[in-house]
Amino acid sequence: MTTEQWHKLGPVEALRRQPLQQIVLGELRIALSYADGKFGAIAGTCLHDGGPLGEGTLENDCVVCPWHGYAFHRHTGQCCTETTGAVPCFHLKEEGGDLYLALEPATPVVPSARPPHPLARDPERAPGPLRVVGVSTTIMNRQHPRFSTSDYLLEIALAHAREQGGAETRLLTLNELNFRACEGYYSKGAETCTWPCTITQQDADDQMQQLYEALIFWGDVVLVATPIRWGAPSSLYFKMAERMNCIQNQITVANRVLIRNKVAAFIITGGQDNIQAVAGQLLMFFGELGFQFPQFPFIAHSRGWTAEDMDTNVAQVRASVELRDGSCALAGRCLALAGALLRADQPAASTERGGRKAHPI
């Protein structure tokens, strides 16, 4: 035995007590496992996003990464969740009651053959006219839809942008999209909230990708319409917003601004009050993503706390020329600002970190 080739990990009896553990030897990370009377050793850094494999779980002879669930066979290092890719494995031997690790890997790292996700491309704008994305956050029965005042005004704004502003428009109705709720990877550490979103990377049927494509790559303007629900935006809005944390988190972990030269504005309606708080939440969140706002960036309507007469509310919105005109004017202000931003052509790909969320001191 030579010290250059082997490293003593410790007593076999002690190491057997943990089915999986992360061993750190200088810059070398090892996921050491024990099951069915046998030890296994593979590299402790996940191929997907660098997660600590030895801090994960052991399932059916596979080491499951604690960050995003990618798994690797505990003996061979072969990826268990994809058809390609492998982390190095290491030889082990027992001698004198101790367990030794060969410091040179027995097998090489094999990168995954999966091509980069389409959302991983640089957010460059394709040539063409101004583009407006409308986002409806109203939730309702899909089989038996009802009239939505916020959707109604959103459709008027999109029609104005298209017919009077010469813009291309696209409507995304969250109620018709199937997408999973945020699974809270950020709670494990900022680096675990990835771009593209891990859910979208792993789930080909995740329709949140449509929203990412529209907001980051396609649209110049986003118009978000929401009802007021107990003084707050709709539950679908919050479901969407939580899945958009990965956009903002790129600023935190990589100083990479994904939202460049884009404008946001809002349509807020409801039978209840608290318009100011709803608008404040929307402005804060979209501002932190990197969107810019036109003068008077939202329109709103509410019957107030004491009314609670939704039939009257619907009738008022349908009959209101002022609200229709306000929707058109909001779209016009957004197009004017978006056009000015594109003409200036000075997109910010990064930002000064001082005073920003999670800035280092």
Q: What is the pLDDT of residues 168-208, one digit of tens each?
A: 999 999 999 999 999 998 888 888 999 999 999 989 999 99
Q: What is the pLDDT of residues 94-138, one digit of tens each?
A: 999 999 999 999 999 999 888 899 999 999 999 999 999 999 999
Tell which phi-psi region holds residue 37, choosing left (phi > 0), alpha (psi between -120 and 50) or beta.
Answer: left
CA distance 344 to 278: 31
C-alpha–C-alpha distance, residues 150 and 282, integer Å: 15
Domains observed in the chain: 6-102 (2.102.10.10), 118-344 (3.40.50.360)
Please say if the pLDDT value at position 289 is more than 70: yes
The 10s digit of each residue's pLDDT in 34-74 is: 999 999 999 999 998 899 999 999 999 999 999 999 999 99
**pLDDT at residue 361 is higher than 70:** no
> Edge-to-edge, what's the strand order for the sheet holding 28-35?
20-25, 28-35, 38-43
Calculate what percentage of the chain has a pLDDT beyond 70: 99
With vertex at residue 260, the alpha carbon angle to CA 255 and CA 262, rounded to the nearest 5 degrees, is: 140
- Per-residue model confidence as pLDDT tens digits over 227-285: 999 899 999 999 999 999 999 999 999 999 999 999 999 999 987 789 999 999 999 99
Question: In terms of Cα–Cα distance, which of 5, 25, 2, 23 is closest to 14?
Answer: 23
CA dist 342 and 297 (Å) reads: 19
For residues 264 and 252, give the distance between their C-alpha atoms in angstroms, rounded to a whole number: 21
Structure tokens at 359: 């800035």
Q: List, in sequence order, the alpha helices (H) in the chain.
A: 12-15, 149-163, 198-202, 208-212, 235-243, 245-254, 275-289, 310-319, 321-344
State pLDDT tens for residues 336-356.
Answer: 999 999 999 888 888 887 887
Provide the token pair at 79. 């990826």
pLDDT of residue 220: 98
Token pair belonging to 98 = 């101790």
What are the Cα distances from residue 87, in Å, to 47, 80, 203?
7, 11, 23
Tens digits of residue pLDDT in 127-143: 999 999 999 999 999 99
Residue 163 and residue 172 in contact, taking contact as beta carbons nearer than 8 Å? no
Give the sheet arrangement for strand 71-73, strand by strand.
Answer: 57-59, 62-64, 71-73
Q: Which pLDDT score, from 0 to 100, does residue 186 have?
A: 87
* DSSP annotation of 95: E
- Residue 1 pLDDT: 45
Q: What is the pLDDT of residue 290?
A: 95
- Read off the tokens for 41: 């050793």
Q: What pLDDT does residue 271 have?
A: 74
**Does 307 have pLDDT greater than 90?**
no
- Check residue 354 and give its pLDDT: 82
Distance CA(266)–CA(326), nearest Å, equals 11
